[in-house]
């Protein structure tokens, strides 16, 4: 039995692209899933996935609403495939909660589905935690299934990069295995921002638009990013300890912007160790996001 169900006739697609992003790891600042949601807008699902086969509900618990002591609604973790058209190209967006189980089987099924749909390229989207200040433009690291697919002027990890696996990468690998070129765009997110980071979403949408040769409307993203910058500036200005840290990060960023595998792995390891609700990394009670 398949892990997914096609809910409606998909029909003919034009130069279709598969875009994949999941919450959790690797989506620092919710960059991946917010980018996916922005790209697809209000489009409904064309395929849904078997949550009981993919999720551990103790790790990804459903949300239950009680009204006057009575269960009113249960919202389960989910993955969906949605379809939208931009610039005459069809984008199929697979997003939702990162699954807990059956990663290899899911990757295999998505690879075969991509072949059936005539997908011409695959794009993974996410955010990586980085020792970078919010005062600098968000940079985007690019990866691909073959070295020659990455432009010479693009930022890419240098040397060996060994990191904890993510379902989005397992699916990307499975799609590449069936002969479809794959690309990844990963926004650098300041490691002290624990909530949604809109400058990263803006940077990713612009980068994907450029890569695909289509125009994806930005909507309010530029304003959201500017507003968040102002909020972060105000919070950090009021806290000398946080201001000192940001100044140190600005100095480090000025000295080197190289993306070595070793430095990226170190940032990821720190992110995983520190990732928990509670006081912000600066040691105060307020969340700087």
What would the pLDDT profile of 174-215 be if each residue is shown by its tens digit?
Answer: 999 999 999 999 999 998 888 999 999 999 999 999 999 999
SS3 114: helix
Q: What pLDDT shows up at residue 175?
A: 98
What average pLDDT does the segment 52-69 reach? 97
pLDDT at 127 over 60: yes
Q: Token pair of 14, please?
A: 């034009």
**d(Cα 54, Cα 262) in Å, to the nearest integer?**
32
pLDDT of residue 240: 85
Alpha-carbon span 249 to 206, nearest angstrom: 25
* pLDDT at res. 254: 72
pTM of the model: 0.86
- Predicted confidence (pLDDT) per residue in 263-278, tens digit: 544 554 554 455 444 3
Alpha carbon distance 16, 41 (integer Å)? 17
Give me the pLDDT at residue 273, please: 52
pLDDT at 284: 45
In the chain, % of residues over pLDDT 90: 72
Other beta carbons less than 10 A from residue 196's beta carbon: 16
Q: How far apart are CA 42 and CA 83, in angstroms?
A: 10
DSSP states of 174-229 as a string? HHHHTT--EEEEEEEEETT--S--HHHHHHHHHHHHHHHT-----TTHHHHHHHHH
Q: What is the mean pLDDT of residues 86-111?
A: 97
Check residue 1 and give its pLDDT. Answer: 87
Q: What is the per-residue pLDDT across 199-258, written as a single tens digit (0 to 9) for each?
A: 999 999 999 999 999 999 999 999 999 999 999 999 988 988 888 888 888 887 776 555
What is the percentage of the chain residues whose pLDDT exceeds 70?
Answer: 88
What domains are defined for the chain?
4-274 (3.40.50.10900)
| Pair of tokens at residue 210 | 């450029």
Q: Indicate the pLDDT class of residue 286, thresholds 50, 70 and 90.
A: very low
What mean pLDDT is reported for the chain? 89
pLDDT at residue number 289: 42
């Amino acid at each position: 039995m398949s892990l997914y169900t096609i809910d409606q006739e998909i029909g003919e697609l034009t130069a279709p692209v598969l875009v994949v992003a999941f919450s959790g790891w690797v989506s620092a600042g919710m960059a991946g899933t917010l980018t996916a949601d922005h790209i697809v807008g209000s489009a409904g699902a064309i395929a849904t996935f078997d949550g009981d086969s993919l999720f551990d509900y103790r790790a990804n618990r459903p949300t239950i609403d009680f009204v006057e002591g009575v269960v009113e609604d249960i919202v389960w973790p989910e993955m969906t495939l949605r379809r939208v058209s931009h610039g005459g190209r069809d984008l199929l967006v697979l997003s939702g909660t990162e699954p807990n189980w059956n990663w290899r089987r899911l990757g295999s099924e998505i690879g075969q589905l991509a072949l059936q749909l005539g997908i011409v390229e695959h794009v993974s989207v996410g955010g990586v935690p980085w020792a970078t200040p919010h005062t600098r433009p968000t940079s985007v690291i690019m990866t691909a299934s073959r070295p020659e697919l990455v432009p010479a002027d693009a930022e890419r990890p240098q040397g060996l990069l060994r990191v904890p696996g993510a379902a989005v990468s397992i699916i990307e690998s499975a799609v590449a295995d069936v002969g479809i070129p794959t690309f990844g765009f990963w926004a650098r997110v300041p490691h002290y921002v624990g909530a949604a980071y809109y400058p990263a979403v803006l940077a990713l949408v612009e980068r994907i638009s450029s890569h695909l040769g289509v125009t994806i409307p930005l909507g309010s993203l530029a304003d959201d990013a500017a507003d968040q910058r102002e909020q972060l500036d105000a919070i950090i200005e009021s806290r000398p300890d946080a201001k000192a840290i940001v100044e140190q990060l600005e100095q480090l960023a000025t000295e080197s912007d190289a993306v070595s595998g070793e430095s990226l792995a170190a940032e990821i390891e720190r992110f995983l160790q520190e990732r928990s609700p509670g006081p912000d990394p600066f040691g105060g009670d307020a969340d700087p996001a």
